[in-house]
């Protein structure tokens, strides 16, 4: 089989490489000639574990290629995937679909100019990008303006890739969702995903509208779980409970599940904030407002801002003139993605309050320097700690999970650790001689006195 993948961003590049690993002939298309040249040289524009080897191996085998020539890629393809960006529109939060519709128009023109190759062939045009309900129908209308209905079918095949584990998510998915009313499209997409049948991966066939909504509903629900456990963490701090135990206690309930119940500084990234906003706007247009999702967005943004107040409180009420060491800048580990990262809401506030902020991230510093040029960037974790008055953990990269605590303490001016990801155990940190602040956990367990943390991040004896 042959497919064309329009767009070599995160979704397009990962999906194209993974399809080629299935034995499909994949041509990835992008307008950015410089990007295509770099890909042809084996240079990967994003950080995703294992992607460089996957691209190199399949390119060498002749199954994966890159081009700026959309017409050549599209003609003769069994399916054409649209995997371009759908960023939030400035001002209103709606998804910007201009790239999707431009791609659909170019696909239609390419197919019309190329004729039927072979005669009578039908091309399945698939939206892989995350798009609001109704987008597939608009793509269909765009194609019909140029092509007869006998030349194409339209389908929706939303992606469920987590940054940092995208290849595993593609190769071992929980499910594959395919939205179409065309039997031909079902056959083609079923054949593309045939290798997953051996793993008994559920295939969910639906209408276009249902497939589009499944993606948004999934992300909104996961964002809600994160926001819920973050609010439970605040309550734990107020009453002396442990949010880790609360999360485990409710997560073992099969109706709830254990995933996405990790308290922290709030969610970020390229999907949850953008997709929740787009879902809210779509619901408003349909006159069915989603008050739960609206609240999730509001509470999450407030939480990220509150983290700066928590840090200032832990530092004695002010940070002016103090040196703060920061580990982790990206919104999650195993990615270089800075989009809507909590660090972007926290660190500029600390700098504006007079702190000297020194930061390190294994992969995100190139982008962080563009967004927060006022910070000092260091070559490794320990360099940030030299003479620091506090150590702040924002992203839970593996290399931050087993720091040499004796070395950390020796480097710092004050042994103060503010752990926004609950990487370390409170009692162990106290025993090591640190003043330790985390999210939703008491310092000590049992005894006549229970040490708890207030919502402001201060330790009190209850």
Q: Which residues are catalytic?
A: 271
DSSP 2-34: EEEEE--SHHHHHHHHHHHHTT-EEEEE-S-HH
β pairing state of 79-82 and 123-127: parallel
Question: Alpha-carbon distance 289 to 293, whole Å?
Answer: 9
Contact yes or no for 15/93 (Cβ under 8 A): no
**Which residue from 383, 359, 361 is spatially nearest to 373, judged by alpha carbons?**
359
Residue 453: asked if its preceding bond is cis (omega within 30°), the reply is no
Other C-beta atoms within 10 Å of 90: how many?
8
β pairing state of 459-461 and 451-453: antiparallel
Coil, strand or helix at 377: strand
**Which residue from 178, 337, 343 is spatially nearest to 271, judged by alpha carbons?**
337
Question: Alpha-carbon distance 266 to 248, whole Å?
Answer: 19
User: How many H-runs (helices) and E-runs (strands) does the chain carry?
Assistant: 18, 16
Q: Can you give the length of the chain in residues?
A: 462
**Which residue from 77, 213, 203 is spatially nearest to 152, judged by alpha carbons?**
77
Contact yes or no for 9/85 (Cβ under 8 A): yes
């Amino acid at each position: 089989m042959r497919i064309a993948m329009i767009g070599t961003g995160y979704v397009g590049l990962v999906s194209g490489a993974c399809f080629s690993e299935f034995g499909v002939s994949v041509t990835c298309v992008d307008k950015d000639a410089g990007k295509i040249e770099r890909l042809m040289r084996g240079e990967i524009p994003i950080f995703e574990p294992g992607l460089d080897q996957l691209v190199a191996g399949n390119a060498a085998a002749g199954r994966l290629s890159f081009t700026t020539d959309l017409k050549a890629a599209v003609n003769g393809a069994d399916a054409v995937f649209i995997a371009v960006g759908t960023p939030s529109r400035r001002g209103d939060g709606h998804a910007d679909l201009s790239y999707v519709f431009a791609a659909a128009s170019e696909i239609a023109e390419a197919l019309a100019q190329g004729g039927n190759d072979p005669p009578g062939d039908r091309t399945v045009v698939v939206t892989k990008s995350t798009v609001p309900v109704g987008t597939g129908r608009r793509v269909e209308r765009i194609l019909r303006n140029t092509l007869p209905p006998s030349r194409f079918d339209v389908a929706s095949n939303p992606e469920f890739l987590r940054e940092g584990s995208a290849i595993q998510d593609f190769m071992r998915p929980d499910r594959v969702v395919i939205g179409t009313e065309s039997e031909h499209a079902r056959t083609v997409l079923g054949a593309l995903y045939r290798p997953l049948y051996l793993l008994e991966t559920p295939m969910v066939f639906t209408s276009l509208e249902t497939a589009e909504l499944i993606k948004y509903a999934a992300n909104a629900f996961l964002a809600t779980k994160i926001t819920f456990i973050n609010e439970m963490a605040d309550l734990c701090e107020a009453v002396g409970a442990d949010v880790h135990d609360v999360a485990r206690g409710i997560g073992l309930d099969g109706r709830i599940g254990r995933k996405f119940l990790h308290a922290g500084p709030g969610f970020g990234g390229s999907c949850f904030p953008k997709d929740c906003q787009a879902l809210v706007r779509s619901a408003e247009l349909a006159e069915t407002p989603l008050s739960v999702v609206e609240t999730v967005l509001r509470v999450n943004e407030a939480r990220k801002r509150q983290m700066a107040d928590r840090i200032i409180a832990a530092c004695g009420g002010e940070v002016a003139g103090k040196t703060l060491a920061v580990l982790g800048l990206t919104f999650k580990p195993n990615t270089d993605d800075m989009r809507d990262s909590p660090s972007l809401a926290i660190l500029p506030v600390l700098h504006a309050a007079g702190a000297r902020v020194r930061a390190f991230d294994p992969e995100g510093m190139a982008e962080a320097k563009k967004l927060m040029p006022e910070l000092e960037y260091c070559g490794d974790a320990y360099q940030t700690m030299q003479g620091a008055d506090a150590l702040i953990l924002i992203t839970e990269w593996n290399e931050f999970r087993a720091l040499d605590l004796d070395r950390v303490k020796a480097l710092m001016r004050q042994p103060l650790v503010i752990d926004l990801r609950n990487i370390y155990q409170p009692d162990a940190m106290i025993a090591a001689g640190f003043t330790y602040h985390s999210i939703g956990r008491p310092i000590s367990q049992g005894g006549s006195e229970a040490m708890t943390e207030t919502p402001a991040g201060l330790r009190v004896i209850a």
